[in-house]
Chain A
Amino acid sequence: MIAESGRICPRSDAKRREGMKKLFTDDRKGDDMPKVRKIGRPADWDDHTDANNDDEYDDNDERSAYGYGDWGWYPPSSPIRTDKGIKARSQRGAFGESWWAKRWIAALDRFGWGSRLQRGRTYARQGQVLSIEFAGAKIKARVQGSRPKPYDVTIEMQPLAAAQWEQAIDALAQQAIFAAQLLAGEMPQDIESAFDAAGVPLFPRGPKDIAASCSCPDYANPCKHIAAVYYLLGERFDEDPFLIFQARGRTREQIVEALRARRAGASEKAEVFEMPAPEPLPALADLLGSFYQAGPELDAIEAHIAAPEIDSALLKRYGPAPADTDADLRVIYRALTARALERVLGEDEP
């Protein structure tokens, strides 16, 4: 269980809000410094208050808590816009590009949070999330809400037990591809099946597996700040799929290490390997005899100025370029080839 300190609200209606919040929070340390604790709840969490709330109304901050129904006596408020935040890459449609980001969102979708999760989308797309950082297994984020002071969001996934990890790694060691892809910086697509086979879930299976808190006054969990972070985590997993492992308690290095131990049976301490020193460079003063002369190899070098045999080979080798630039880069590469050839072999300039 996580406790996170809230902050003094500078707004004049802060007191009234605190008053309201007291009704719903069971962990109070005082009026001025309320400790807000929100914990991921089982699926039976009361959901009905969000029934009409979807993306289109999302611009009104805190409205979900205060702007409707019995609590409608607070005017709707908007979040303070910021341009310092992380803007979601997917501005429309589904979040995440690779399968494991989608898998992450899908896992959350199954928790029955319904529209409460959806509410985070606009935040995520507007760039209200200022930062997401991993501290070990713990994920810390700051989200700009309607108050000048950003809210602090903390998310923690249930770490796997050591025994569970052992089982999972045993399963991974059965197929070389897992280690191979992990070492190549790829997340094997069917890695979850290996976890499943070991009876160890990689992704959270229910709200119980995630604990989240936010310093905002919203009682709901996930509030839209937490939800926004959830969405952006999907994109984070796109960039670095190993963060899922990290969130579950093991770094990539630990996993790779454990796999090697399985393969080799016993791991030996690596002997010190001395890199051969670079060839000593002759001093200028020793080269006076040939000072003005190029090596005889110079004339043998022949530049091959032509279009490549395989277009955009680097993109094919490195995989899709970051930030959705792949398609544009392919066009740019082709244009560059054409212009470089034109530059050297084209018609004379007038």
Chain B
Amino acid sequence: MSDVLHATWLPALKSLFLWGEAGDISPRKGRKARLPAHPFQVVPERLREIYRPRVSPTPAEHTLTLWLPSGDVGPFPSPELLDTGALAAPEGQPQLAPWRLSGLLLSPVQALDLLLEPPIGLFGADLRAWRVAALLAIEILSGQQTLPGLQRDGFALRAIWLPRPAPATAEKLSTLARALPPLCRAAAADPADAPRPRELLDNFLAAAVDASIRDLARPDQRPKTKDQGPGAALSSLVLRPSSTPGGKWLAALLGRDPIVDLRGREADALYKAWQAWAGQGQVAGDDVFRITFRLEPPSRADDAWALAFLLRAADDPSLIVPAAQIWRERGAAFKYLDRRFEHPQERLLAGLGYAARVFPPLEASLRQQAPDRAQLSAQDAFAFLKEAAPLLEGSGFGIMVPAWWQGRGARLQARARAKGKGPGPNAKSLLNFDALVSFNWELTLGGQPIDRAEFERLAALKQPLVQLRGQWVVLDPEQLGQALKFFERRDGELSLTEALQLGLGADGQALPAGVEFGGLEVEGWLKDLLEQLNDAQTIEQLPPPKALRGQLRPYQARGVSWMAFLRRFGLGACLADDMGLGKTLETITLLLDQRERLTGKQPVLIVCPTSVVGNWQREIARFAPSLQVMIHRGADRQSGAQFARAARRHDVVLTSFPLLARDRETLAALEWGTVVLDEAQNIKNAATKQAQAARALKAAGRIALTGTPVENRLTELWSILTFLNPGYLGSEESFRRDFARPIERASDKAAAERLRKLTAPFVLRRLKTDPTIIADLPEKQEMKVYCPLTQEQATLYEAVVREALQKVEQAEEMGDAMGRRGQVLAMLMQLKQVCNHPAQFAKDGSELAGRSGKLSRLAEMLEEVYATDDRALVFTQFAQMGEMLQRHLREMFYDEVLFLHGGTPAKERDPMVRRFQAANGPRVFILSLKAGGTGLNLTAANHVFHFDRWWNPAVENQATDRAFRIGQTRNVQVHKFICGGTLEERIDEMIEGKRALAESVLGAGESWLTELSTAQIRDLVLLRREEAVEV
């Protein structure tokens, strides 16, 4: 599981060699070889499990020698492997040494598949660099930066696609060549002959581009949805008859077989024609000087434009030599300072000749003997700017155009003006999410509003470049018609959603083609809203509600004010603070605030996982006892009008996600004041019944709580935000098209930024590590986690109580004090096991999932631990429970889970600790309280879970201190699990209430409990069903 995957590109084989470093050392034995085998390599069989090819052939196994930095005993592990803690860090100075490795050979198409959609796991820097190369190969393909080519192959001709990166792409490739890790060059017969990074990269790109096109050209077998074009073979689009040389060339460019079906003279002729065509590189200059065109607007609008011919130093853009200077040169080389340009006249001429073909208006100027500029009409100047300049730039020419062309300001833009209708919300009244915003469009040119008369006057000039109030502006003829229609538009209304999309997304998708979005100008309360959305610091801070029984930390008070602010505008809020920062308390405070502030008294609906209903109930009772809570649960729960009546009599209705889906009709019939979804990741899949039911709820305000970093899980983000603010992120399909896929697959940073701007105002996420938060937090935070019992647990629990109490009574009647004591202790043990898990009590190795409230809750909380890169210790006093947890969690998280118990051999303990402490080590470490409670240093953990209780704070604290000790740099959260309504809660209350209880009494474990009277014991263990059983 902690394998590190690597990839080496082999130019000679045009294949990617996939290999890996294994976390568990399993040296291959046998076979004496000349070279030693790499001692911790991943065996090919395992690689085959990791990488499954989409296209044939099955990757062949291959053996390769790599030169790696090595010590006396073996190669140095990569930092990625070291971070897993699987191996100890090597010592001493490394030397290059050859190692034999077995791996898989991937074809270029398979290599792209692997790199573009990497399997789950750890990757070496080499593989990450090749992933960037693969993305750049796709950039070349989608950007049409590839030239159909020909190569001599003996007597035959081979058709091939050649990468011809545009300047921007070429720059990225140079950067990538510089960044390529030396490991990429490790395959060589002699390290002195290690391939150059640039050669490796170019070879990879050439192979990847050519092979990908042939792969993409194949007929698409996937079933098509209705809006997708036919997936026919690309060769079927070719019209040129396949009998002609051109047709044969195209067929060889698109088919599997690259050999062109031409021989002799026809082949020669095609090759020569192609050479003449393709050999037109380097017309634009060299590394020293580039031929450059500078477009100069006339000083008077009616005069001609000028396109000046220049040479510009490649490394110093300010060094410009006019063409006139070149024509004066008599020598075969032009020298300036320390720069030198060979055959300046010919090269300038050749460049001009080439440019004249791309941009024919240049030709007239070349009728002179020594031209230094071309005179252009405004139309030609526009054509140059729009069409020729990018082409010439793509060919390597320098282009200097007026700044206004590149800015958006000189274009036609549509600026939106929006004003919130009405007086806006105040402390008492709220806005609805569907609130309207009055709205109009305004056409601007050169950044200035322009009315219809002026626009028509300019359009009548029929000039693409005109001066407006002394400023050059662009009137693209293709846009004029659209723009004219624009004036026909009436002023209108927008929903607040649409206004926010415009205001935050900086995107005008509703605009007619050709007109750019010029931004949104807002007035009134809408202006305040947008400003505050963009800067949460400006939000007004609310005083704490009077009825709150408790103290808010400063960041919690800010969170409440933030939610209240959004609520005021009818906007939903996602509070995504890290686990343990007190989202529950913040929400309860908000509910109190709303109750005190607002006139409406509709009930609040809180939906949460079954396992935390009890927690909510207890927290509300603790912090806001004035709130009347109704729990919607059980087989006899109310429905329809009866439910509605009951709900209206309460302040808060608590229910669980499964019941939300089941009772959708009943719950959706009511108008809720606010709906809160706790652990909102439960609706991460928008298609589930739960998510649909959540969206169907009618509410004036919506809150989603989650501890996972929702902003990185895009489909989850869509689902939650669509619950909060319906329609705001568009349809799921458009969201996937515009955001999810570009960001996840192509690492599209622009799309990510747009999404961030759109969503940031609605998601508040504070981290434990945030310096402004950390100051407010205690270094160690202890929390009780109340878990419910499942029906099975409850039934079992009651049976055990019945039976055991009988035995206790019998022993008491017989005066057998020792027997009674034993019976009591046995009963306590059994009940604790039932609370942990029925399977632990039954010892039957049965299925684990869904049968224990504690286990469900632990899994939910560990999910957040995984999602936030935290680490956790889980203590239990039962080795058997630890084993069950290990098995269950391992399957659930597909990750290694460590377990240290009394039976763990001493020599295995240190490696376990080292691995847990390593930067990329396992996230969860289960320890038995006795074996792991003392001595170990496990400061990598910042969460400590006590799955069951020892009822002795000193023992528990000692265990907690494995993480909370010197070397711990983070705040530590301690979660103590308690099954509500059971003996666990009662004993906890007793201990809390009897702080004075002597340490000696508690130190003896649970024996003090045996001193209680039978009545007291009965009271202690009796199940309070309504508090215990899950909803």
**Which residue numbers of A lie inside 8 Å of B, CB to CB?**
84-87, 89, 127, 130-131, 173-177, 179-186, 239-240, 256, 260, 263-271, 273, 281, 283-285, 287-288, 290-298, 300-314, 316-319, 321-325, 327-329, 331-333, 335-347, 349-350
Give the residue of B80, B191, B246, B270 whose beta carbon is less than 8 angstroms from that of A283.
Answer: B191
Given that A284-B185, A345-B745 are contacting pairs, would A324 and B353 also be in contact in the complex, using a CB cutoff of 8 Å? no
Chain B residues, CB < 8 A from A182: 353
Give the residue of B246, B342, B368 whose beta carbon is less than 8 angstroms from that of A322.
Answer: B246
Chain B residues, CB < 8 A from A314: 144-147, 164
Given that A180-B352, A273-B333 are contacting pairs, would A310 and B216 also be in contact in the complex, using a CB cutoff of 8 Å? no
Min Cβ gap B336→A in Å is 14
Chain B residues, CB < 8 A from A321: 148, 277
A300 lies within 8 A of B175 (CB): yes
B26 is an interface residue with CB less than 8 A from chain A: no
A297 lies within 8 A of B276 (CB): no
Closest B residue by C-beta to A86: B265
**Which residues of B365-419 are within 8 A (CB) of A?**
366-371, 387, 390-391, 394-395
Min Cβ gap B71→A in Å is 11
Chain B residues, CB < 8 A from A127: 266
Closest B residue by C-beta to A341: B142
Closest A residue by C-beta to B328: A264
A305 lies within 8 A of B78 (CB): no
Having A87-B244, A240-B272, one finds 16 other A-B pairs with CB under 8 Å, namely: A177-B352, A179-B349, A291-B69, A297-B178, A301-B132, A303-B135, A311-B144, A323-B245, A323-B274, A325-B148, A328-B250, A336-B216, A336-B234, A342-B228, A345-B745, A347-B225
Binds A, one of B235-243, B506-514, B906-914: B235-243
B350 lies within 8 A of A183 (CB): yes
Give the one of B129, B234, B265 with max A CB within 10 A.
B265
Chain A residues, CB < 8 A from B96: 284-285, 288
Give the residue of B78, B138, B332 whose beta carbon is less than 8 angstroms from that of A343.
Answer: B138
In Å, the complex CA distance between A165 and B918 comes to 82
B237 lies within 8 A of A303 (CB): no
**Which residues of B245-282 are within 8 A (CB) of A?**
245-246, 249-250, 253-254, 263-266, 269-270, 272-274, 276-280
Given that A84-B264, A305-B142 are contacting pairs, would A291 and B222 also be in contact in the complex, using a CB cutoff of 8 Å? no
Chain B residues, CB < 8 A from A312: 144
Closest A residue by C-beta to B273: A322
A180 lies within 8 A of B366 (CB): yes
Min Cβ gap B132→A in Å is 5
Closest B residue by C-beta to A179: B349
Chain B residues, CB < 8 A from A323: 244-246, 249, 270, 273-274
Min Cβ gap B50→A in Å is 19
Given that A186-B357, A313-B390, A350-B222 are contacting pairs, would A308 and B368 also be in contact in the complex, using a CB cutoff of 8 Å? no
Chain B residues, CB < 8 A from A345: 737, 741-742, 745-746
B138 lies within 8 A of A344 (CB): yes
Give the residue of B213, B270, B330, B387 whose beta carbon is less than 8 angstroms from that of A266.
Answer: B330
Chain A residues, CB < 8 A from B216: 336, 339-340, 343
- What class of interface size applies to chain B in its complex with A? 35 or more
B246 lies within 8 A of A84 (CB): no
Residues 118-160 of B, flagged 1 when their CB comes within 8 A of A and 0 if not, give: 0000001110110010011011011111111000000000000
B138 lies within 8 A of A305 (CB): yes
A284 lies within 8 A of B353 (CB): no
Closest A residue by C-beta to B238: A328
A260 lies within 8 A of B346 (CB): yes
Chain B residues, CB < 8 A from A331: 237-239
Chain A residues, CB < 8 A from B143: 304, 306-308, 337
Main secondary structure of the interface of B (DSSP, over half): helix
Chain B residues, CB < 8 A from A87: 244-245, 266
**Which residues of B646-687 are within 8 A (CB) of A?**
none
In Å, the complex CA distance between A317 and B352 comes to 13
Chain B residues, CB < 8 A from A337: 141-144
Closest A residue by C-beta to B184: A294
Given that A175-B369, A321-B148, A344-B745 are contacting pairs, would A256 and B280 also be in contact in the complex, using a CB cutoff of 8 Å? no
B779 is an interface residue with CB less than 8 A from chain A: no
Given that A292-B78, A340-B216 are contacting pairs, would A175 and B179 also be in contact in the complex, using a CB cutoff of 8 Å? no
A86 lies within 8 A of B277 (CB): no
B327 is an interface residue with CB less than 8 A from chain A: yes
B497 is an interface residue with CB less than 8 A from chain A: no
Min Cβ gap B746→A in Å is 4
Give the residue of B141, B166, B192, B345 whose beta carbon is less than 8 angstroms from that of A336.
Answer: B141
28 pairs, CB–CB < 8 Å, chain A vs chain B: A86-B269, A87-B245, A175-B368, A263-B370, A268-B331, A284-B67, A284-B182, A284-B186, A284-B194, A291-B76, A291-B181, A292-B78, A292-B79, A292-B183, A294-B180, A297-B179, A298-B132, A301-B136, A303-B747, A304-B139, A305-B135, A310-B390, A322-B276, A327-B240, A336-B213, A340-B141, A343-B138, A349-B54
In Å, the complex CA distance between A181 and B395 comes to 16
B749 is an interface residue with CB less than 8 A from chain A: yes
Chain B residues, CB < 8 A from A349: 54, 222
Chain B residues, CB < 8 A from A292: 78-80, 124-126, 181, 183
Chain A residues, CB < 8 A from B745: 344-345
In Å, the complex CA distance between A5 and B330 comes to 51
B330 lies within 8 A of A180 (CB): no
Min Cβ gap B691→A in Å is 19
Closest A residue by C-beta to B128: A294
B346 lies within 8 A of A322 (CB): no
**Which residues of B325-350 are within 8 A (CB) of A?**
327, 329-333, 340, 342-343, 345-346, 349-350
Chain A residues, CB < 8 A from B722: none
B357 lies within 8 A of A184 (CB): yes
Chain B residues, CB < 8 A from A285: 95-96, 191
A301 lies within 8 A of B176 (CB): yes
10 closest A-B pairs by beta carbon, nearest first, are: A180-B353, A177-B366, A184-B353, A295-B179, A323-B246, A183-B350, A303-B135, A270-B332, A322-B273, A340-B141
Chain A residues, CB < 8 A from B277: 318-319, 321-322
A298 lies within 8 A of B144 (CB): no
In Å, the complex CA distance between A127 and B80 comes to 64
Chain B residues, CB < 8 A from A297: 175-176, 178-179
Chain A residues, CB < 8 A from B737: 345
Closest B residue by C-beta to A322: B273
A340 lies within 8 A of B142 (CB): yes
Give the residue of B124, B128, B333, B352 whose beta carbon is less than 8 angstroms from that of A271.
Answer: B333
Residues 93-132 of B, flagged 1 when their CB comes within 8 A of A and 0 if not, give: 0111000000000000000000010000000111011001
Chain B residues, CB < 8 A from A306: 142-143
Chain A residues, CB < 8 A from B329: 264
Min Cβ gap A225→B in Å is 15
Give the one of A268, A270, A332 with max B CB within 10 A.
A332
B276 lies within 8 A of A240 (CB): yes
B522 is an interface residue with CB less than 8 A from chain A: no
B840 is an interface residue with CB less than 8 A from chain A: no
In Å, the complex CA distance between A166 and B273 comes to 30
B172 is an interface residue with CB less than 8 A from chain A: yes
Chain B residues, CB < 8 A from A290: 181-182
Min Cβ gap B11→A in Å is 16
B358 is an interface residue with CB less than 8 A from chain A: yes
Give the one of A130, A267, A317 with max B CB within 10 A.
A317
B460 is an interface residue with CB less than 8 A from chain A: no
B866 is an interface residue with CB less than 8 A from chain A: no
B352 lies within 8 A of A176 (CB): yes
Closest B residue by C-beta to A142: B265
Chain B residues, CB < 8 A from A310: 387, 390-391, 394
